[in-house]
Amino acid sequence: MSEDFRDTRVLVTGAGRGLGRGVAEAFAAAGARVMLGSRTLEPAEEAAAAIGGNARAFRCDVTRHDECRALVEVTVAAFGGVDVIVHCAADIPHGGLGHVSDEKLESGLASIAKAAWWLLDAARPHLAAAPSGGRFIAIGSVNGTATVVPNMTAYGMAKAALLAFVRGAALDVVDDGITVNAIQPGLVASDNALRVLGEEGLAAYGATVPVGRAGTPADIAHACLFFASPRAGYVTGASLVMDGGSSLAPGRSGRGDILQDRLKAQVEH
């Protein structure tokens, strides 16, 4: 049974491309009014135009506290409130210890974990006023929590911090009628994954996943729709692993080598 999100006001970060855009499209298709936040405005505007009248775009660099607050304020001004936030944005720092600059380390932590804090803090009174209860959904990762990816130490650390925030914040806002949950994807066939792995690398990696393929933005969007729905009203502080079984079979042939080779090339260049 499909969910009905008519009159629901949704804010999605990192919505210009890839996973974030897929999430925004899914909510809009279910009837929601959606604000697409993106550090680069042009792709967000293109996505909003493709979605149609229920979507708006706003430029927001989530590594900045003031811009997170502005994104919430613009959403409230445009839609009269906000009921659901899906935090997809992430400035991904590729590299292990000794191979990530202080600037990239800070940008990764800020865009992933700090931004979640800033967004929820700014939106809290509005989410508390949501007719069916406010929803905050963070896109985490199996990296740094359920598994370890070579040359992705900084990224895994930031995603682990995000999950710690989800658990703590869930109790901070439970009396306001707000739930806070996370989704932990494995490899998702997004624009960024294609850029890092290439078509052949993405296909090769997908073949090593127990279910036989990489995830898609639509897979993650389905989980977001559930967490945002009244059906998930009894769920908070939870994290849903969505990796096709990869974290259950960390030694599965080839997967680590494919990622390690591609990410090493990213760091070196």
Q: How far is CA 230 from the centre of its chain?
A: 21
CA–CA separation, 36 and 18 (whole Å)? 12
Residue of 160, 19, 41, 138 lying closest to 87 (CA atoms): 138
Residue in 5, 58, 79, 155 annotated catalytic = 155
Is 155 a catalytic site residue? yes
Question: Is 93:154 a contact under the CB 8 Å cutoff?
Answer: yes
Give the pairing of strands 55-59 and 84-87.
Answer: unpaired
CB under 8 Å to 1, separation ≥6 — which residues? none
145 to each of 86, 141, 153, 185, 257, how far by Cα in Å? 20, 7, 11, 11, 20
How many C-beta atoms surround the C-beta of residue 206 within 10 A? 20
Q: What would the DSSP string read from start to end of 113-128?
A: IIHHHHHHHHHHHHHH
Pinpoint the alpha helices (H) of 129-210: 153-172, 191-208
State the catalytic residues: 155
